[in-house]
Chain A
Amino acid sequence: MSVYTVDGLHVRIDGELVVEDVGFAVGAGECVALAGASGSGKSQSCLAPFGLSPGIPAGSARLGKTELIGADPATLRQIRGKDVGFVFQHPLTALTPHLTIGAQLSEAWRQGGAPPPSRSDMIAALDRVGLDEPENRLDQFPHRLSGGQRQRALIGMAIAHRPKLLIADEPVSALDASLRAEIMALLDTLRREDGLALLLVSHDLAAIGRHADRLVMLRGGRVEESGPAARHLAAPTSAYGRELVAATPRLTDPPPDLAETGAPLLLAENVHVSFPRPGWRRGRIEAVSGASLTVHEGEALALVGGSGSGKSTLARAIARLGPLDRGQVCWREETLPERKRMLPRYRRLIQPVFQDPAASLDPQWQVSDIIAEPLRHLRPGLGKGDRAELVGATLQEVDLPAEFADRLPRALSGGQSQRVAIARALVSEPEMLVLDEATSALDVLVAGRVLDLLERLRQKRNLALLFITHDLAVARRLCHRIAVMEAGEIVEEGPAQRIIATPAHRATQKLVTASGV
C-alpha cells in the first residue's frame, strides 16, 4: 500500500513543459530517489504537486486517498502541515534567522493541529535527530549552529508533526562529505523506525545506490528509466543511464591505468599560512601549519579534505597566488620567489583553474581575450598573429569550436566556461596545473568529460596536476597519489589505491566511509 502515488505528472512553468509524464509510488518505510542532472525536472516533480513551486502541475498525485492536483491552496497548506515534511538543500539559509530553534520547532509541531509541545517534548525531538545539547539549542538562533547541526534541526522540524511522507530535496549536497553519510544515515533510521516514506531528490548516484530502494531517472523532464535502484545502477537499461553511471566515479571501479611519473618537479616544505583575525582584533588564525608535499613530472596528486581543512589555501600558497608566512616552495631545485616577485618565467610554470566556472571569467572580456591574457604578460615577445594562432589551437585542444573566440562568458554553459578556463591555464604552456575543485560545480556528465579532458592533456603534455577535491572517488579516477588534509596539516599521503584500501588516519577513514565503501 503506497503512501504517495504520482501518475502521469506534467508540470508547466510559464507555459513551458518542464516535467512530462512522470510516475512513481512511495510506500511506507520505503525510499524512492529521483535522479538526474540539474534541469532534469526532479525538484519540480516533487514540489509542484504540493504548491511549493511556481510550476503548474497536471495529471495525478495522490497522498493516501487525497488527490493533490487541482486541490485549492488552503487544502494543500493543510496537507503540508499535517501529512508531509520537507527538507531542503541549503541548511544555512533554510531556517528563519530571527526565530530561535525552539520557536520554529514548536511552530512546525503545531501545524498538524497538535497541542503546543512541552519543553521536554522538544528536547526529545531534537535529541532524536542527533542534535547535541538539545536543551541549549532550543533557545539559540540558527546562526549559532553549524551546517550539519542546522540540517539536523531542519529534519527534526520536518518530522515534528509526524508526517507520513518526507520529501528531501538534495538534503546533503551542501554539506561536507563526512557529514553527508551521517545525515543520510539519520534519514535511514527515521524511515526504519517510523515507517516514514522518503522521497529523495539527488544527483549523486553513489548515494542513491546506498540508500534508495527504487530509482526514477529523469532527463529533460521525462523518465529515462525506473525500477529497483541496485539493479538499475548495476545495469542501466537506457543509453543515458549507462552514460550517467559510467561518468560517476566510484571507489569500487577498477583502478585507472595511469602513466608513469618522472622526476620531482615541485617541492613544498613546511608551509605555514595564517590570516589576521577580522576587524581590529589582534592575533592570527592559522590556516595551514607546516604542510609539505612533492609533485613529480607528469604526476596527478590529489589534495583531499573537508571544507576548512586548508587545502585551497595551501594550493594557493604553492602557486604563489596567496599568502605564505613561512616555508619554501622549490621548483626543480630552484626556490620560487615570493608572491610579488613572481617574474613571468616563474608564473608560466604553474597555472590555476577554479571551481566556479561563471566567476572564473571576466564577464566583460571576449573568450579570445581571456585566453590570450597570459600570453600578453608571460610571453610579451609574441606578435598579434602568433597570439591569435595559439589561442585558436588551444581552443581546439579543449574541444571548443573556433567560433567561441568572440563570445562573451555569459553565452557559455558551465562546462564550456570551465574549458575556456582550462584553455587560459594551458596557453602559456605550463608544466603544472592547480585545479581547485575544478569539477565540483559541474553536472556529473559534464564533470566526467572535463576529467577525461584533463587526463588526456596530462598525458599529451606531460603535465603535473595538483587536484584539490573533497571527493575521494574523483581523486582516485585521475590521480596517482592522494594527500589528505585536516586542520591545516597533511595527515596522510600515499598511492591512491593504498590510501583508499587501507586508510590509516581517522580523517581519511571518514572520507572513505563518506564515499561509501
Chain B
Amino acid sequence: MNRRATPDNPRTGRGRPGRIPLLIVAAIALAALVVPPLLPWTHSAIGWDAVRAPLFAPGHLLGTDTVGRDLLARTLVGTRVTLAVALAAALVALIIGTAWGAIAGWCGGRIDEAMMRIVDGLYALPFMFVVILLMVVFGRSIVLVFIGIGAVEWLTMARVVRGQVIALKERPFVTAAEAAGASPVRILTGHILPNVAGVALAYLLLTVPQVVMVESFLSFLGLGVQEPLTSLGILVKEGADDMDLQPHALLIPGGVLVLVIVCLTIAGERLRDRLAR
C-alpha cells in the first residue's frame, strides 16, 4: 500500500531519460568531428612564433602550448580520440560481456557456476595493472589500448546480463513461448535479448565514462595514446606540467573530460533506474 516516491516522480526529476546530458555529449562529439578540419592549424603543427599564446589570442581562441601548438585544435582532436577509443572499448565490453553473461545465464547449472567463478576471479585482479602490463608487452598501440580496456571492462556487463537472463528465463512468458513451439534460438532472440537490451544499453552508457577515465589515466602516465596523436589524458598531463604559467591549458581539457564523464554517467544512471522499476 505504501506509495513510494517513484523514480520518475515529476517533482524530483529523477528518472527522466537523460536527454540533456546526452545532447551535451553529442554536441561535444560533433564539434570534435566537424571543427578541426575548418581550423587554420592542425593539432600537431608547431609554431615557434606563438609559444604559450594566452586565451583569445588572435588566431588561437584557446591559446597555444609550450611549442606553439593550437590548443583549440588539440583539445578537439584529443576529445575525438578519447571518445573514439572509449566507444570502441565499450563496444568490445558490450559484445564480450553480453555473450558471456547470456551464455552463463541461459545454460545455468555447472556451466554458469564455472563461468561466473572466472568473472569473480578476474574481478579480484588489479586490472589497471594488467592493462599496463599489456601495454608494456605489446607496445603502445591505440588498438591495443581499447582492446585491453574493453577486455577488462566487460566483467560488470557480464554480471548484469547474466542476472537479467536468469530472471527472464524464469518468467512464465518464456515457458509459454516454449509451449508455443518456439525454438531455444527463437526464445533467446525473440524474448530474452530484446528484454535485456535496455539494461545493456544503460550499462554501455555507464561503461563509456569508465573507459574514458582509464584511457586518460594511461595516457597521463605516458602508457596510452602516443604522440603525434593526442588525447584528453595527454593534454591534462601537458597542462599539469605547465599549469603555473598557463592554468587554462589544464582547466580546459580537464573540464571537457569531467563534463563528458558527468553527462554520460547521469544519462546511464537515469536509464538504468528507469528500467529497474
**Within 8 Å of chain A (Cβ to Cβ): is B45?**
no
**Within 8 Å of chain B (Cβ to Cβ): is A70?**
no
**In the complex, what's the smallest C-beta–C-beta distance from A318 to chain B, in angstroms?**
12
Neighbouring A residues of B189 by C-beta, 8 Å: none
**In the complex, what's the smallest C-beta–C-beta distance from B7 to chain A, in angstroms?**
16
Query: Which residues of chain A in 332-357 are interfacial with respect to chain B, using CB atoms and an 8 Å cutoff?
Result: 342, 344, 347-348, 350-352, 354-356
Partner of B177, one of A44, A350, A373, A421: A373
Alpha-carbon separation in the docked complex, A350 to B176 (Å): 11
Partner of A374, one of B3, B109, B181, B194: B181
Nearest A residue to B173 via CB reads A362
* 0/1 string, B1-26, CB within 8 A of A gives 1: 11100000000000000000000000
Which of B109, B179, B194 has its CB near the most chain A CB atoms (within 10 A)? B179
**Contact across chains for B181 and A421 when beta carbons are under 8 A apart:** no
Neighbouring B residues of A424 by C-beta, 8 Å: 176, 180
Query: Which residues of chain A in 259-303 are interfacial with respect to chain B, using CB atoms and an 8 Å cutoff?
Result: 276, 279-280
Partner of A344, one of B113, B177, B181: B181
**In the complex, what's the smallest C-beta–C-beta distance from A272 to chain B, in angstroms?**
19
Instruction: Contacts A362-B191, A377-B181 given; indicate if A421 touches B176 (C-beta within 8 A).
Output: yes
Instruction: Contacts A321-B179, A374-B181 given; indicate if A354 touches B172 (C-beta within 8 A).
Output: yes
**In the complex, what's the smallest C-beta–C-beta distance from B3 to chain A, in angstroms?**
5
Query: Which residues of chain B in 177-201 are interfacial with respect to chain A, using CB atoms and an 8 Å cutoff?
Result: 177-183, 186, 191, 194-195
**Contact across chains for B171 and A359 when beta carbons are under 8 A apart:** yes
Neighbouring A residues of B141 by C-beta, 8 Å: none
**Within 8 Å of chain B (Cβ to Cβ): is A403?**
no
Nearest B residue to A14 via CB reads B3
**Within 8 Å of chain B (Cβ to Cβ): is A228?**
no
Q: Give chain B's interface secondary structure class.
A: helix
Number of A-B contacts defined by CB within 8 Å: 70
**Within 8 Å of chain B (Cβ to Cβ): is A66?**
no
**Within 8 Å of chain B (Cβ to Cβ): is A402?**
no
Which of the four size classes fits the interface of chain B? 20 to 34
Partner of B175, one of A279, A347, A352, A374: A352
**Contact across chains for A361 and B180 when beta carbons are under 8 A apart:** no
Partner of A47, one of B1, B180, B183, B191: B1
Query: Which residues of chain B in 100-157 are interfacial with respect to chain A, using CB atoms and an 8 Å cutoff?
Result: 109-110, 113
**In the complex, what's the smallest C-beta–C-beta distance from B188 to chain A, in angstroms?**
13
Alpha-carbon separation in the docked complex, A373 to B113 (Å): 33
Alpha-carbon separation in the docked complex, A424 to B177 (Å): 10
**Contact across chains for B173 and A360 when beta carbons are under 8 A apart:** yes
Nearest B residue to A322 via CB reads B175
Partner of A54, one of B3, B113, B183: B3
Nearest A residue to B191 via CB reads A362
Alpha-carbon separation in the docked complex, A495 to B47 (Å): 98
15 further interface pairs, Cβ-Cβ under 8 Å (given A53-B2, A361-B173):
A280-B110, A316-B175, A352-B172, A354-B172, A354-B176, A359-B171, A359-B172, A364-B194, A373-B182, A374-B180, A374-B181, A376-B180, A377-B183, A377-B186, A425-B176
CB-defined A-B contacts under 8 Å, sample of 8:
A276-B109, A280-B110, A319-B179, A351-B179, A360-B172, A373-B182, A374-B180, A424-B180
